[in-house]
A and B are shown apart, each in its own frame.
Chain A
Amino acid sequence: MDDSIKQALLSRFRTYLDTAEGEGGLQDDAAETADLYSLFVEVAGLRSEVRTESRLVKEALDQFRRAFDTLQSSHTAMQQELERTRAEARDQERRLLRPLLLDVIDLRDRLAAALKLAAAAQLRWQDRLLRRNPSGGETWREGLRMTLRRLDQVLLDRHVVATPLTGHPFDPRLARVVGTSVDSSVAEGTVIEEVRGGYLWDGQVLRTAEVIVSKRDVGNGELS
């Protein structure tokens, strides 16, 4: 081969080698090293960021838990307060209603007494003979009976009921003994007569009855 051709080929090969070294080879290694480093830096940064975020999330959860606990305790306290307020309102309502109901019962007692007296009243002999009722007594008594029924219904609507005691053993929770009497036909401690009727309101004593009770004959055994 000609020397000039050899020189030309060598020159071109040298040029090729110079170009190849400049574009790839060592340059690629350097770039690869640079990418791993930045990757490591990125991963380290990411790890740190994840830790920071985790801490923030944990703090947020703790705050939320505390807020939830506070909310729950506030809710419980509010429920208790509500219950207490309701109970107080109920008690207050009953305290206000009690004297009114007692007045209604007293009014009923008076009407019943008036009806009893009216029923016992006798017509004059002239009126009985002529079968007339000049004062309209029966109409008046019927009016009293209607009023009594209405009052009984008013009391019943408010869960107020009379306590029938006559013939039953004396119960100190429901009645007070205002007199005793010897009555051999019933057992000792049996209620013989109700001087004043007793009433229950929602199962609790609204008015204590006053009763006369049978007692064993000790001495003369008179009504005390």
Chain B
Amino acid sequence: MTDEIVGIDLGTTNSEIAIYREGRPEVLGDGQGRIILPSMVGLSATGELLVGEEARNQFLLYPEHTVRSIKRRMGSDARVRLGDRDYTPQEISRSSCPG
């Protein structure tokens, strides 16, 4: 049994992921050390899944391939189109938290 606990704060605009290990909490950052991650998910022009900062980077160019503020639709029956598939808000939220 591991003594590591991961907590995710899924926000409407930004999210944070923290881990509790060796008796202390630590907020995890992305590859560039940023601890505040945009709550965005997208598909690149080549069909790769983009999460957080990378999804936000392409938002102006491909808004139709980028989803943001999905938290507002959580719990509803809405379907969100991403690429050639429809997803529930819960599925999009799961993608936006890779940790």
Contact between A172 and B54, CB atoms less than 8 A apart: yes
Contact between B57 and A176, CB atoms less than 8 A apart: yes
Residues of B within 8 A of A208 (CB): 32, 53, 57
Residues of B within 8 A of A224 (CB): 60
Given contacts A180-B60, A180-B61, contact A172 B44 (CB under 8 A): yes
Bound-complex Cα distance A46 to B57 (A):
87
> Which range contains the number of A residues in contact with the other chain?
20 to 34
Q: Does A205 contact B (CB under 8 A)?
A: yes
The size of the chain B interface, using a CB distance under 8 A, is: 16
Bound-complex Cα distance A179 to B60 (A):
7
Bound-complex Cα distance A177 to B57 (A):
6
The smallest beta-carbon distance between B72 and chain A, in angstroms, is 23
Given contacts A172-B44, A189-B45, contact A178 B60 (CB under 8 A): yes
- Report B's interface with A, CB cutoff 8 A: 31-33, 42, 44-45, 50, 53-61
- Report A's interface with B, CB cutoff 8 A: 95, 98, 169-170, 172-173, 175-180, 189, 204-206, 208, 213, 215, 224
Interface pairs A-B: 9 shortest CB-CB: A176-B57, A172-B57, A177-B60, A172-B58, A177-B61, A172-B54, A213-B61, A189-B45, A172-B50
